[in-house]
Amino acid sequence: MPTEKKAQLIDKLKDLFVKSGVGIFADYRGMTVAELTDLRRNLRKSGVHFHVVKNTLARIAAEKAGKKDLGSLFEGPMAVAFSTGEATIPAKVLNDLVRTGKTALKIKGGFLGDRILRTADVQALAMLPPREIIIAQIVAGIQSPIAALVAYLSSPMSGLVGMLQARMKQLEGK
The continuous run of DSSP H or E covering 83 comes out as: strand 78-83
- Given a contact cutoff of 8 angstroms between Cβ atoms, the answer to whether 13 and 53 are in contact is yes
Task: Please name the residues in contact with 146: beta carbons below 8 A apart, sequence gap of 6 or more.
Answer: none
DSSP state of 131: H
Tell me the pLDDT of the chain (174 aa) as tens digits.
Answer: 468 888 888 888 888 888 888 888 888 888 888 888 888 888 888 888 888 888 888 888 888 888 777 777 788 888 888 888 787 888 888 888 788 767 778 888 888 888 888 888 888 888 888 778 888 888 888 888 887 777 777 777 777 777 788 888 888 876
CA distance 43 to 37: 10
**Residue 172 and residue 174: Cα distance in Å, rounded?**
6
User: Angle, nearest 10°, between helix axes 4-19 and 55-64?
Assistant: 60
pLDDT at 67: 79
